[in-house]
Structure 1
Amino acid sequence: MVNVQTLDPTASPLNYYGWELRRQREAAGLTLQQLGAVIFCTGSLIGQIETARKVPTRDFSERVDAALGSDGLFFRLVGLVLRSQLPTWFQPYAEMESKAAYISTYQAQLVYGLLQTEEYARAVLATGSPDDLEGLVAARMERQRILERLQPPLVWIVLDEAVLHRPIGGAGVMRRQLERLLEFNRNRWMRIQVLPYSAGEHPWLAGAFNVLRFPDHPDIFYTEDMMSGHMTADPETIREASLHYAHLQAAALSVSDSAALIARVMEERYEDRSQRDTVA
């Protein structure tokens, strides 16, 4: 007799997704392999998702909804599942970030998570040797869906020049990441400035921070260390952070000069050798 793993659907969004998928598949009279044949994946993959050993994707969820006639249930659930894969300490910030009307951030080491390509994110997240790297990557990509809204938040980013030179994931990954920054900079609701090395010392040499603004909620200041995040709506902290951010913006290159620097670093430091060899 086959030993079927029983999930507690109240344990987590991932557990509930797997429990509901099994329930609806069995109600439709389909085996794992039969459903897999309909949605073009293996029965093994479906089994792993049903037992909460693998995180579903949005594409998978759309195909399951179509196959089982579940009226978009799994597509709605997958957002909760993916957000639940974020570190527990980060989830409150991600929830507030998703509601913000304006985001301003200074990043000293890395490209801001909302702007990362999938391969850049994977290289960054892999440094922590997580048990489920793909789940974390999927969760980070899910965060970026706020930029696809009809009315996305206004986003102003100041990147330390060091971010452009740190070769996360290798030359190819960095080239595509910098290309994406240039694409983002063409959006009217996003502005990217680079704080050059020549700016010297400044109040936020210690690290990155974000300020979130809302139409009907107090502003929030957020920073994090290696182990946890710290969020506050203290007015004095917000005033001080806003003042420091204004100084960073003033010291940074203009948006157009920043784009020129990003393009120059991309070409000089992360040259596309495959194209060069083809031309040669």
Structure 2
Amino acid sequence: MTQLGLGLLVGYSNTYISNVETTKEAPSLTFIQRADLHLKTGGTLELLWWSWKNGSLIQGFPEYTAQEANATALRIFQPRVIPGLLQTAEYAAAMESGNVLRGKISQAQADSRVKFLLDRQRIFTKTPRPSLRVVMDETCLVRPIGGPSVMARQLRHLEVLAREPRTTIQVALNAVAELHPLSHPLTLLTMAGRTMLGYTEGLQRGYLERDSETVAEWADDYDLLQAEALSPTESLAKTRRLREDFEHAS
């Protein structure tokens, strides 16, 4: 599509679009939202805009989220904290408040991160809805982020999500942690055409893996982890019991 053609669709001049492309001018949020709509990019451009605007995301993560928005299936393993796509707004805010208190990010960056996260969750309103398989270790369910009330509502949210179509949530018990083949967060994306991508994170940055052999090895490890975890029914029951414990403590 030409600059002139895009300009006619979004209501901006081709000069403005040229300046954005050559970084002479920063894109406005309105322009980005209109471009998302007419280019049918599923909100990806806005997600990246928020990342750029506040510099709030770790290196490598925006590249991953651009792929995540178009995935047909996601397989996620998360240690220690609830996976982002499953977090409630108040749980996410509590997570980021800790980063603010430690001086790692500003409050504006924290707010941007939470908004970015909630925008990412819109992929589950798409038709067809992408399939989602999640394994999280037991620590995610008992670590009291935000206090008992926040955790109770977060776990209730997981119970609701576990009943959604094309969604499987499993818990890997701490008692058999030595059998878990994964120790770092991992996401496997299935894209159109059955191409698979992998994503993991270190302390300072994220890594989007495209090498098919490496991603296949990660997928094998994920399958082993899933086999060692509680079944979806058992995981739902455990989540419910822990949620009730948090409710009694709040």
Q: 5 Å matches for 1:263-278?
A: 263-271=240-248, 273=250
Choose which of 194, 205, 209 in structure 2 pairs with 1:232.
209
Q: State whether structure 2 residue 66 is matched by structure 1 residue 95.
A: yes
Aligned to 1:106: 77
Q: 5 Å matches for 1:182-221?
A: 182-216=159-193, 218-221=195-198
Contact 2:186/2:198 (CA < 8 Å) preserved in 1? yes
Secondary structure, counterpart of 1:106 in structure 2: strand
Query: Residues 52-100 of structure 1, C-alpha deviation per residue, up to 9 Å, x if partnerless?
Result: xxxxxxxxxxxxxxxxxxxx84995994344322325311100111111
Choose which of 110, 117, 123 in structure 1 pairs with 2:88.
117
Secondary structure, counterpart of 1:96 in structure 2: helix
Q: Partner letter of residue 17 of structure 1? A: S
Query: Residues 230-253 of structure 1, C-alpha deviation per residue, up to 9 Å, x if partnerless?
Result: 111212212211111111111111
Determine which structure has the larger helix proportion and give its number.
Answer: 2
Of 81-90 and 156-165, the range deviating more from structure 2: 81-90
Question: 1:215: Cα distance to partner?
Answer: 2.3
Q: Partner letter of residue 240 of structure 1? A: E
Q: State whether structure 2 residue 145 is matched by structure 1 residue 135.
A: no
Contact 1:160/1:195 (CA < 8 Å) preserved in 2? yes
Secondary structure, counterpart of 1:168 in structure 2: coil
CA distance in structure 2 between the aligned counterparts of 1:222 and 1:96, rounded to whole angstroms: 10
Secondary structure, counterpart of 1:127 in structure 2: helix
CA distance in structure 2 between the aligned counterparts of 1:234 and 1:82, rounded to whole angstroms: 25
Query: Residues 2-37 of structure 1, C-alpha deviation per residue, up to 9 Å, x if partnerless?
Result: xxxxxxx8398x95326x69xxxxxxxxxxxxxxxx
Q: State whether structure 2 residue 224 is matched by structure 1 residue 259.
A: no
TM-score, structure 1 as length reference = 0.69
* Structure 1 alignment gaps of length 5 or more: 1-8, 22-71, 274-280
Pairwise CA RMSD: 2.8
Query: Residues 115-138 of structure 1, C-alpha deviation per residue, up to 9 Å, x if partnerless?
Result: 110111111123332221212211
Larger radius of gyration: 1
Q: State whether structure 2 residue 49 is matched by structure 1 residue 84.
A: yes
Q: Partner letter of residue 116 of structure 1? A: Q
CA distance in structure 1 between the aligned counterparts of 2:227 and 2:46, rounded to whole angstroms: 41
TM-score, structure 2 as length reference = 0.77
Q: Partner letter of residue 223 of structure 2? A: A
Secondary structure, counterpart of 2:193 in structure 1: coil
Contact 1:83/1:142 (CA < 8 Å) preserved in 2? no
Question: 1:254: Cα distance to partner?
Answer: 0.7
Secondary structure, counterpart of 1:167 in structure 2: coil
CA distance in structure 2 between the aligned counterparts of 1:173 and 1:84, rounded to whole angstroms: 29
Of 179-188 and 84-93, the range deviating more from structure 2: 84-93
Of 141-150 and 85-94, the range deviating more from structure 2: 85-94
Q: Partner letter of residue 166 of structure 2? A: W
Q: State whether structure 2 residue 24 is matched by structure 1 residue 16.
A: no
* Structure 2 alignment gaps of length 5 or more: 1-18, 52-56
Contact 1:117/1:177 (CA < 8 Å) preserved in 2? yes
Identity percentage of aligned residues: 30
Aligned to 1:27: none
CA distance in structure 1 between the aligned counterparts of 2:149 and 2:48, rounded to whole angstroms: 28
